[in-house]
Amino acid sequence: MSILSGRGWLAGSLVAALLLTGCDAKAPQESADVLYSGGSILTMVGDTPSYAEALLVKDGRILFVGDLAKARDAAKAEREVDLQGHTLLPGFIDGHGHIYNAGIQKLVANLLPPPDGDGHSVASLVELLKAWQGQNDGAITKTGWIIGFGYDDSQLQEQRHPTASELDRVATDTPVLIIHQSGHLGAMNHKGLELAGITADTANPEGGVIRREADGKTPNGVLEEMAMFQPLFRLFGELDADSNEKIALAGVDAYKENGFTTAQEGRASPPASETWRKLANEGRLELDVAVYPDVQSATDYLLASGVSPTYQNHFRIAGAKLSLDGSPQGKTAWLSKPYKVPPEGKSADYAGYPAIPAAEERQRLVNLAFENNWQLLTHCNGDAAAQALIDAVAVAADEYGNDDRRTVMIHAQTITEAQLDQMQALKIMPSFFSMHTYYWGDWHRDQTLGKEWAYHISPTASALKRGMIFTEHHDAPVALPSAIMILYTTVNRISRSGDIIGPGQRVSPYIGLKSLTEWGAWQYFEEGQKGTLEPGKLADFVILDKDPLVIPPEEIINIRVLETIKEGKSIYQAP
C-alpha cells in the first residue's frame, strides 16, 4: 500500500497534479521573473521522487514546473538561473523550534560540546564564558548577566552539571547563568542565585527542582525546569525592545542560513509574540514565523489575540503550546518506569515528573484549546507525559469534536507502539526529534532508557508502517537549527560513538525530506501554499550543493545550503 494512500488531506494533490499537467496546454505567459534549470529540481510531489528540468517563478509564486523546452514556451523569463548541477527543492519547514531562543543561542557564549562547540569539561566552560565576557561588555551591561548556552553534562568529562562554586571562577560580582543544551536545566553562580532570590529556605516550585548540597538545603547552583524557567523568564522579560528585536533577527539569520523558509516560535511569551508582530509590521521579517503562545501562561493573550490561518507580513499566531514534562537527556522527562541511572541524590524508582501535576489542570488546558479551535502543540518527551496528552485529547475530542484539528505531539520520543495506535485513532500527529539519536543516543542507551527503549526512540518507521505522517525538528536552541542534521539523523540514526540507535526505525532520505517539506506544510494547515513544487504555490526554495537522494546516506551530513529563497526573493546565499 502506498505510504500516503487513504488520507483525505491528499485529495488536493490531485488538483495540483491536474494543474501541473494542464500548465503545458495553457497559452504562453508573456513573462516570468526567473527560470531555474541546469540542476536537480526535486518537486517532493508523490510517494516516490519526482524531478523536473525547469521551474518558472512569477510574482513570488511557482508558475510552471516541467520540461525546459516547455518552460521556455510557457513564458519568457527576465532572469535565468543555472543551478550548475546543484539541487533545488521546497524550502524547509520548521516542525518545532524556538526561533527567538535560537537568536539567544547565536548571541550568548557557545558552550555546546563538539562538534558544535568546545564545551567538553567544566574548565572549558569557565574559559569559554570568560572569553565571551571579555568580548561582550555591551551585552553584559544591558542584561547585567554573563550568559552561556548549550553545556551538556552527558558530554562533559565530569559527567555532571557545573556547580555555583565552579561558576564563581568566571565571576563573583557579576551573576552567571548557563543554560543546558536541553533548555530544561541550568546553573548559576552564587551571585546569580542571590539575585534570583534562591536560598536554602526557597521551596521547589511546582514542576521544578532546586538541586541542593549534601546538607539537603543549600542550593548547589543547578536548577531544573520551572526552578530555572522562572528566573530566566524574569531576566529576558526585562530586556528593552531593541534587545528583543536584535535577538529575534539573530534567530531569523540562523534559520535562513539553514534553508528554512517557515519558522516556529514554540511556547511564545506575549512580549516575544509582540516582538514578532512589530518586526512584521515594519517589513523586517524575511521568512514566515508561526507563533504558538503558551496556553497556560498566556491564556488571556491568546483569548484577546486569537489565531489566524494567514500570515500578515510573514507573521501569524498559529495556535497554542502546552508543555507536560522535561527532557530525557536531562532526566526530567516524565516516564512510566524508572531511569536506568537516576540523577544524583534520586532513588532507584525515580522516573521524572510532570510539568503540570494535576490531571484536572491538564484537562482544562486541552479543553480550552479545543473549545477555542486553537491548534494544540504539546511537548511530551516521556511516555507518561504522552499518555497524559492522549487521555486528555480523548476527553476533549468527545466534548468538542475532533475534525481536522491537527493536534501535534512534540518530540514523542519514548512513545510505545500501543500509544502510536491511540494517537492514530485520535488524529494526533507526532513531530519527532531524531537528532537525539546522534547527540544523546549513547547517553539514552547507557544512562537514561537502556538499550531496548533507546533503540525505539522517535519511532519513525513504526509510524510510517501505520500510514501516519510526521514531521522532524531541531527544537533550536536545543540543537542548532540545521535541517541537514535533522535529515542525516532521521535517515541514519548513528550516535556519536557510531552505534545505530534503532536500525529498524531508520527511514529513507525521501521520507526524511517529506518530514521537512510536504508533511511540515500539512502540520501548519499550509499544504495548499507550501511543501511541494507545484504551480500556484509559494516560491519558497532551498538550493543544496548535493542531492540527498543520490549520495550515500552517511554523507548527507556534509551537504551545504547554498541559497534560501522566500517567495522568489533570495534571503540567504552561502559565502
With a cut of 60, say whether residue 20 has pLDDT above it.
no
Angle between the N-to-C axes of helices 383-400 and 417-426, in degrees from 0 to 180, rounded to the nearest 10: 20
The total of other beta-carbon atoms located within 10 Å of residue 138's CB is 8
Evaluate if residue 466 carries a pLDDT over 50.
Answer: yes
Q: With bands split at pLDDT 50, 70 and 90, how would you rate the model's confidence at 318?
A: very high
> Burial, 550: exposed, middle or buried (Cβ in 10 Å; 0-12, 13-18, 19+)?
exposed
**Interior angle at CA 62, CA 56 and CA 63, nearest 5:** 60
Percent of the chain having pLDDT more than 70? 95
3 state SS for 421-432: HHHHHHCCEEEE
CA dihedral 363, 366, 367, 373 (to 10 degrees): 180
Q: How do residues 279-304 score in pLDDT, each as one tens digit?
A: 999 999 999 999 999 999 999 999 99
Query: Out of 154-168, 231-245, 381-395, which region has the weakest mean confidence (pLDDT)?
Result: 231-245
Average pLDDT over residues 20-45: 77
Mean pLDDT score, 70-85: 97
Residue 27: predicted pLDDT: 54
User: What is the mean predicted confidence (pLDDT) over 130-135?
Assistant: 93
Torsion of CA 552, 556, 561, 562, to 10 degrees: -20
Confidence of residue 102 (pLDDT cuts 50, 70, 90): very high
Mean pLDDT of 135-150: 88
pLDDT of residue 128: 96
So what's the pLDDT on residue 391? 98
User: What pTM was computed for the model?
Assistant: 0.88
Separation of first and last alpha carbons in the chain: 44
Which CATH code fits 102-237?
3.10.310.70
What's residue 220's pLDDT?
A: 94
316 three-class SS? strand
pLDDT-derived band at 15, boundaries 50, 70, 90: very low
Backbone angles phi, psi at 451, to 5 degrees: -60, -50
Residues above pLDDT 90, as percent of the chain:
86
Confidence tier at 236 by pLDDT (50, 70, 90): confident
Instruction: Please tell me the predicted confidence (pLDDT) of residue 438.
Output: 96
Element (H, E) at 570: strand 569-573
DSSP track, 557-569: GG--EEEEEETTE
Where do we find the cell 488536493? 12
Per-residue pLDDT, 19: 38
Dist CA 132 CA 147 (whole Å): 9
User: In 3D, which of 63, 67, 42, 71 has the Cα closest to residue 53?
Assistant: 67
| Domain 319-470 homologous superfamily, CATH | Metal-dependent hydrolases (3.20.20.140)
Identify whether 553 is preceded by a cis peptide bond (ω within 30 of 0). Answer: no
pLDDT (average), residues 100-126: 92
DSSP lists the bridge partners of residue 110 as: 149
Q: CB count, 10 Å around CB of 283?
A: 9
Amino acid sitting at position 291: V
Cβ proximity of 305 and 318 under 8 Å: no
CATH topology of domain 1-85+529-575: Urease, subunit C; domain 1 (2.30.40)
Distance from C-alpha of 18 to C-alpha of 397, rounded to nearest angstrom: 35
Task: Provide the pLDDT for residue 242.
Answer: 87
Separation of alpha carbons 225 and 7, rounded Å: 38
Quote the mean pLDDT of the chain.
93
**Domain limits, the chain:** 1-85+529-575, 102-237, 319-470
pLDDT above 70 for 181 = yes
Place of cell 525546569: 225
The amino acid present at 395, given as its one-letter code, is: V
Mean pLDDT within 263-277: 94
pLDDT classification of 222: cutoffs 50, 70, 90: very high
For residue 511, pLDDT over 60 is answered with yes
Q: What are the residues whose beta carbons fall under 8 Å from the beta carbon of 488, sequence distance 6 or more?
A: 438, 553, 556, 557
pLDDT for res 6: 36
